[in-house]
Each structure stands twice: as C-alpha cells, then as structure tokens.
A and B are shown apart, each in its own frame.
Chain A
Amino acid sequence: MAERLNYYILFATYTQGMALKDHLRSAGIPCRISPAPRSIQGELGCGMSLLLEEEHIEAAKQCIRENHAEYYDIQALPCQINAKRGRFC
C-alpha cells in the first residue's frame, strides 16, 4: 500500500499562516496548525505550519491562488503522527 502523505505549508511569519488558515477554513478545506517538522523547516524563523491531508492539497493550492495568500513553501512528508508511539518531549 502506498505510504500516506501529509502536506505542510510553511510560512515566513505566523500572521501569514493564520491568514491562510482563515481562508482555508472559510472555503471548507480541512487543515490543522502544526509545529513545522525540523527536517523541512530549514532556516525559516517561523515554526508554524499548516498540515493538510493529501486529498485536500489541490483545493488548498487553488485557495492560495484565489486569495493571493502568502506562504513560503509546501512540503510533503509521510504521515508523522502516531498516537501510540510513547515518545514525549
């Protein structure tokens, strides 16, 4: 079975991120606020990202275009979430 991908939209500032979150929510596109995984954050100062399931990413890109929303990058990663991992901070 193909590995499920999660998409992270990265931002230069959290205000850009919150603005796009509002656009996505208004358009009914599910997204969640997530700390950006360190492996894709690079030298970006902002740690906030928007996490989307792969079936919603094309609609999100359309929403970005329509609203001229600012963002830094979009990166795909295999799903990182595992509720039973038993690893804490």
Chain B
Amino acid sequence: MANYREMWEQLGMDLENHDNLCAVLPTAFGDVYLSQENRPESMDFWDMVVADIHGIRPAELIEEQKKGRKVFGTFCVYVPDEVVIAADGIVTGLCGGSQFWVPDGEAVLPKSTCPLIKASVGARLGKTCPFFRIADMYVGETTCDGKKKAWEILGKDVPMYVMDMPQMKRAKDVTKWMEEVEDFAAVVEKTTGKTITPEKLAESIHIINEKRKALARVYETRKADVIPISGKDALLMMQIAFFDDPERCAQMANRLADELEQRVKDGVSVFPAGTKRILVTGTPMAIPNWKLHHIIETSGGAVVCEETCTGTRYFENLVDETGTTLEEQYRAIAERYMGIHCACFTPNTERVDDILRLAKEYKVDGVIDVNLKFCCLYDTEGYVVEKALKEAGIPVLGIETDYTDADAEQLRTRIEAFIEMLG
C-alpha cells in the first residue's frame, strides 16, 4: 500500500487539517472535470496526478532527495528551470491556488494581499501541502510588492533565495537579468554541490525547450474551428506542468497533442458548434484554481487560450540553443525570459500586442480580462488592455475575483450576459 499518511507525517504536516483539504478536492474535481463529456483519453494522466496529487509526485521527490538531489520550489515563470536542472536539481512549482490555504496566509499577511500570495504562504505555515514541506530551497523573485514582503516572512521558516527582476526591458535590464541568472546559478551549484558546465546547461536548455514545444503543440490545436479540448483540461495540463518532471511532461503533452490533432482532422469538438470562443488574459491560475474556466464553460463559452503565466507566457519563445559557452547560454536564457511580458514591467506594450495577436490566432469572439483581487499591477494594466481590445473591435469583460465561492453566482450572471452579448 502506498502509505502517504506516513510520508506526510514524516514531512511534519498537519494531518488533521490536511484531511479537510483532501475531503473537498474530490467534490470540486468531480463537479469541474468529471461533469464534462467526451474528454480526450490522454487526460487520464492528469486525472491520475490530481487524484493522488499529494502522494505520487511528492513520493518521487523524496526518493530523489534520498539520492542526494535537491528540490527547488519556485513561484514564477521568470525563474529559469534550466539552471536548476543543469546542476542536477529538481524544480517544483509552489504557487497556491486554493482558498483552503488563505486563512493561514492571512494570519501573517494583510487581508489586502492577493489570494495567490496568501495561499502560498498559508500552505507553508499551515503545513498542509507536501510540496511546501519537501522543497530544500524556495526561489522567489521581485515581481510585485506583496511577494517581496512575503519572501521575508517565508525566509524565517525555510531557506529562501530571491532573484531581483528588472522593472524595465532596456538592453541594460537584460544584462542585469543575465547577471541575476549567473548569481542564481552560483547559489544552485553551492546547494547541489554540482558544477554547471556548458554541456550540462545545453542539455537542460534542450529539455525545457522540448517541454515548451510540446505544450505549444497542444495549444496549436485549440486554434482550430473545432475545439478538441476544453479550456479546463488545457489549464489542468498547464498547472501540472509546473510540478512534473519536464521530460515526462513533454512526453504526456505530446501524446495529448497527437490525440487532439487527430480530433481536429476528424472534426471532433467538445463543444457544440457556435459556442463562443473566449481568450482569458490576466493573472495566473495556480492549481486547483479552476473557478473562472468552469464558470465560463458552463455558461455557453469555451476557453480557447490563456494569456497568463499558466498559459502562453509559460511556453512561448525558446531559449537559443546555439550557445557553447556559459556566458552565451546565460545570455540566451536571460533574453528568452525577458521576453515574457508580465505586468510588473513598465512600459509593457508588448503584452497588449500579444493579446491582440492571440485573439486573432485563436479566432476568439471575446476576451475575459481576469484579475486576482488586490493584484494592483494587472488591475491597473487592465485599463490599457481593455482599451486596446475595444479599439480593435474585440468585446472584452473585465473581472476581479479571488478563490472564494462567494462571487460564483454573480460571476456566472455577468459571464452569461457577456456571452449572450457576443451574439
């Protein structure tokens, strides 16, 4: 028997409270995922992962730790996985997407902090998530004020390293980010006891590029007139990608892409013809935050693309693989990551360009610009985003929400009205 309870106990988790989380997940997953018809068979893999989300992967990580490998927990798509893997380390995502963790976060953070940060801090301090217990080192970054202060609190409880993100995208900022990547590499080498060589880094750059290509293949099928996969299922694949072994992630995403490409050829859609195609843009949706996608897809819409950190920002653009020296490779890594257009930058007109491009590529009928409550950056940038979309003649609905259930019906009413308005 896979005795995960013993594993959780050894990790110092609060088993009683963790049981409460285990009790709500099956209901939520059933309502959101198992209520769907005609899902791709390849989603079996991700269903299995969720069914044992605090068991299978944590047990794998612990086995690797026993062999001497180190686990780095990250919170942001700017932290380069390539560097960790080149030093034989393992990366796991740590962003919290459940209201369950929020109260433990609010015990030390202001209520007016975004739910993602509160949930992430709460998952650690409340001892109710194995990934937060397993990670040998947390890697934060300075993408917003809330996170910067949260790292100081987490840093009292767990080894914490913070990468300093530039705020602008000038050439000198790319160079600064390259220096940050090099500094991070030195910390990773010290933690793992392994040296990063150009050969190792070339290999890890290739592994992560292959993962990006596989995820992009799945997204490519969502551009078709028939919609071969729901937005909820695509979101689940993306959310798990942050936790899984990158080579297995690529293998599973490629297998899913094979099935979806066949579905497109066969004209198989998971939505009735005429269902309105929606692009979701804005703040990330960490697992198990499925709320908005579920409401959209049970209100007459289909999410065909996400311009978020749990969407296209995670996999678009590859790291140049032609570098042969560490300097060239760190430069290539810095350039790729600085091409992610987060609202933490000013100016950030490239993100608006991306949204307009994606709206066209995925043939969307409308855009839902979602903002996690108290995320000042995305909330403020929403003005520019929504103005640009309106000028381009693309209907847009701005939404602010959190992880609670309280606004679910209100959101449904607004989204149903928006979709109806799309004709």
Q: Chain A residues in contact with chain B, CB under 8 A?
A: 12-14, 17-18, 21, 25, 32-38, 41, 43-49, 51, 80-89
Q: Taking the complex as formed, is B55 at the interface, i.e. its CB lies under 8 A from any CB of chain A?
A: yes
CA distance A32 to B32 in the complex (A): 14
User: Considering the complex, which residues of chain B in the window 389-423 have a beta carbon less than 8 Å from any beta carbon of chain A?
Assistant: 403, 405, 408-409, 412
Q: Please, which residues of chain B bring their CB within 8 A of the CB of A84?
A: 298
Q: Please, which residues of chain A bring their CB within 8 A of the CB of B28?
A: 87-89
Given contacts A14-B56, A82-B31, contact A89 B3 (CB under 8 A): no
The answer to whether A34 and B26 touch across the interface, beta carbons within 8 angstroms, is yes
B116 to chain A, nearest CB (A): 14
CA distance A41 to B28 in the complex (A): 16
Nearest-neighbor residue (CB-CB) of A86 within chain B: B408
Q: Please, which residues of chain A bring their CB within 8 A of the CB of B403?
A: 88-89
B21 to chain A, nearest CB (A): 8
Question: Could you tell me the dominant secondary structure of chain A's interface residues?
Answer: loop
Q: Please, which residues of chain B bring their CB within 8 A of the CB of A12?
A: 1-2
Q: Please, which residues of chain B bring their CB within 8 A of the CB of A51?
A: 34
B237 to chain A, nearest CB (A): 15
The answer to whether B34 and A38 touch across the interface, beta carbons within 8 angstroms, is no
Nearest-neighbor residue (CB-CB) of B19 within chain A: A38
- Taking a contact as CB atoms closer than 8 A, the residue among B31, B56, B97 that contacts A83 in the complex is B31
- Taking a contact as CB atoms closer than 8 A, the residue among B26, B48, B289 that contacts A14 in the complex is B48
Q: Total contacts A to B, CB within 8 angstroms?
A: 118
The answer to whether A89 and B25 touch across the interface, beta carbons within 8 angstroms, is yes
The answer to whether B52 and A88 touch across the interface, beta carbons within 8 angstroms, is no
User: Considering the complex, which residues of chain B in the window 26-51 have a beta carbon less than 8 Å from any beta carbon of chain A?
Assistant: 26-32, 34-35, 41, 44, 47-48, 50-51
CA distance A82 to B403 in the complex (A): 19
Q: Please, which residues of chain A bring their CB within 8 A of the CB of B47?
A: 32-34
- Taking a contact as CB atoms closer than 8 A, the residue among B19, B52, B288, B412 that contacts A48 in the complex is B52
- Taking a contact as CB atoms closer than 8 A, the residue among A21, A36, A45, A87 that contacts B5 in the complex is A45
The answer to whether A32 and B48 touch across the interface, beta carbons within 8 angstroms, is no
Q: Please, which residues of chain B bring their CB within 8 A of the CB of A21?
A: 44
27 A-B interface contacts by CB (under 8 A): A14-B2, A14-B51, A14-B52, A18-B44, A21-B44, A33-B51, A34-B51, A35-B50, A36-B51, A46-B4, A48-B51, A48-B52, A81-B30, A82-B35, A83-B31, A83-B32, A86-B405, A87-B24, A87-B28, A87-B31, A88-B405, A88-B408, A89-B21, A89-B25, A89-B28, A89-B99, A89-B289
